[in-house]
A and B are shown apart, each in its own frame.
Chain A
Amino acid sequence: MTGRTFAEKALARAAGVPDARAGDTLDVTPDLVFSHDNSAAIRRIFEQTGAPRILHPERVAIMLDHAVPAPTTRHAQNHAEIREWVREQAVAHFFEAGRGICHQVISEEGLVLPGETVLGADSHSTHAGWLGAFGAGVGRTEMAALWATGEIWLRVPEAIQITVTGTPPPTVTAKDISLRILGELGADGGLYTSIEFAGNTIITLPLDERATIPNMMAEAGAKNAYLPPDQVVFDYVQARQTRVFSPIYPDPDAEYAQRYEFEVSGLEPQIALPHQPDNVVPISDVAGEVVHQAFLGTCTNGRITDLRAAAEVLHGQHVQCRLIVIPASAQILQQAVQEGLISILLEAGAMIGTPGCGPCMGNHMGIPAPNEATISSANRNYWGRMGTPSAPVYLGNPYVVAASAVTGRITDPRELLA
C-alpha cells in the first residue's frame, strides 16, 4: 500500500472514514465554517432551504471584515442584517467590524488547529494550511448548506509536493517565495490540487510570515495548501486552543501528481505585474515604474512581521506617494502600537486604516483613480480588483511596498537599507 498525502488523511478524518484516496467524493463534516460580509447573502439562501436553524452554531464563525467600518448605507444595512442573524441563530463565534480579517482572526482565536478541516466562504481559505489544517473555499449556497446540514461533498484532490530549500537573503520573504512559485506554476498550475510543502526553508521563516504561502496558493487554483506544522506552530496554537487536536503529516511514500523544487538562496524580491498574480518578474526588471499609491495590509501581508519590515525601511524617511497601512487584525495593530511601529509609519507619512480588508477588493479606503498605479502587498492584482478598471496593481513584499512609497517608484528595498 502506498502512503497517503496530507489531503487524503485530513479529508478521511473529516469524513469519519478510515481511508481515502485522491478522486474519492466524501461527505465531510468540517470542524469550523466561516463567512464574512457575505453572510447576509448566505442567510437569504439559507432561509430558502427550509432548514429550521443553523445545525451547529458552535462550529460557525462570522466576522465583518470586507468593508469596515461600513462605507455606505447599503454596506451598513448588510452588516445590520448579519448582526441580527448572529443573535437569532446564536452563532458562537462572531467578530465585529475592526477585529480583523477572517483568516487572521480564526487563527488568532484558536478556531483552526493542526489536522482540522475548515471551510470558508472565501477563496483564500487555503490560508489555514499555515497551521497544518485543511482549509478550502466554498461558494455561498454551499455555506448555506453547511449551516443547514453541517456537511458538504468534497472531492479528495490530487496533490502536488513543493520542496523549498535554502535561506532567502534579507528583504526576501515568504511573499517572494510564493510569487516565484506562482510564476512557475501559473494561474492554473495547482488547479483542484492540494499543494503540500516540504523542505528546510519554511521552518526558518517567522511564523506569521509563513501564512502568506498557503494564502497565495489560491492564486495557482489550489483547493488547499499545507505547511507541515512544527513546534513553533504548536506553541502558537497551544496558547489559544480550545479543543484537542492531532497534527497530520503526509507519508514519506505518498503519491504526488507532481513534484517541484525551489532553491531560494539567491532569490531577489519578486513583483507580480498587472493584471495576473502569476505574471511574475524579479524586481530588477520593473524597478523605476511610477506608482501613485502603496498599500500594505490584507490577509496576505498585514501581520506584525510585515509592519516591522515596513518600519525598518521607513524609519527616518518620508513617502513620495500615498501609503495606506491596514493591519490584518486589532491584535496586530495593538502590538504594532506597543512596538512603536505605528509612530514610525505615521512620521513617514503613512495613513493607518481600521483592521480589515481595506481597498484589497475595491470596496473603500484607497480606491485608485483611473490609470493610477498601486504597489500592493495583497495576493491578487486582477484588472479592476481595487475598484477602478484601468488602475494597474503591482504585487510585492512589504519591504518593496514601503521602499516604493518612499520613492514613488517601484524600488528594490536593498537600495534604501544599504
Chain B
Amino acid sequence: MTTHHRCWVYGDNVNTDMIFPGRHTYTLSVPEDIAAHALEDLDTTFAASVRPGDVIVAGWNWGCGSSREQAVTALKYAGIDVIIAASFGRIYFRNCINQGVLPIVCPELHTLVNTGDRLALDRRAGTITAQEQIFAIPPLSPTVQAILDAGGLLSLLQHRFKGDSYP
C-alpha cells in the first residue's frame, strides 16, 4: 500500500539537543508538552505546523549526540512515524526501532526534496518515490523487524510478560 507524506527537510549532523533540548529532559513528561518543544532550537515553525503523517528527511548523522529517547518521542508525539536520513546516530537509530518509528537509511533523498515536498512510501514493496525517482528501503534484521512489527520494544515486552507469543 502506498502512502503519501509531506517532508520536513534538514541537513547533516542534527544532534539530539537540536531535536529535543537537554534543558527540558528532566522537566517535561507529558507527550503534548514534549512534542511542543520538538526541534525548537533548529526550526521554530516545526512544532506549530507539523501534521500527523509528515516525515523527516535528513542528511548525514541525524540524531547524533546524547542517548535521550525524547529526541525520538518528541517527533513521534508530533505525529512523525517515519524518519529518512542519509545516516543515523546509532543510539538514535535504536531508539527509533524501540519506539516503533521506522528509520530509513537513504543517502540521496535529502538532496532531492525540500520542506513541503511530498513523497510516496510503499512499506510492503520497500520503496520510496520522490521527484519521479525510486529508492529501495534497506531491509532490517529479523530481530529488529520483529520489534518494529510489534509497535516498539515496549509492546514486545508487554506481549512477552503477558505470556503471549508474539504476534
Interface residues of A (CB under 8 A from B): 25, 37-38, 41, 45, 48-52, 66-67, 72, 74-75, 78, 121-123, 137-142, 144-145, 148-149, 153, 155, 187-188, 191-192, 221, 223, 276, 361-363, 380, 382-385, 387, 389
Contact = CB atoms under 8 A, between A and B. Distances in A.
Contact of B91 (A138, A145, A361, A380): A138
Contact of B158 (A38, A49, A140, A362): A49
A155 B141 contact: yes
Contacts of A138: 67, 91, 94
B162 interface: yes
10 contacts: A50-B158, A123-B67, A139-B91, A140-B69, A188-B60, A188-B87, A221-B64, A276-B13, A362-B23, A380-B65
A74 B95 contact: no
B22 A362 contact: yes
A54 to B, nearest CB: 13
A interface: dominant SS: loop
Given A123-B67, A221-B90, A141 B153 contact: yes
Given A144-B154, A153-B143, 4 more contacts: A140-B69, A141-B98, A149-B157, A188-B89
A157 to B, nearest CB: 8
Nearest to A125: B67
Interface residues of B, number: 40
Contacts of B65: 123, 380, 382
A141 B61 contact: no
Contacts of A121: 67
Given A139-B98, A221-B61, A387 B27 contact: no
B26 to A, nearest CB: 6
B41 interface: yes
Nearest to B90: A192
A49 B26 contact: no
Given A50-B158, A191-B61, A383-B18, A139 B26 contact: no
Given A78-B26, A382-B17, A187 B64 contact: yes
A191 B85 CA distance: 14
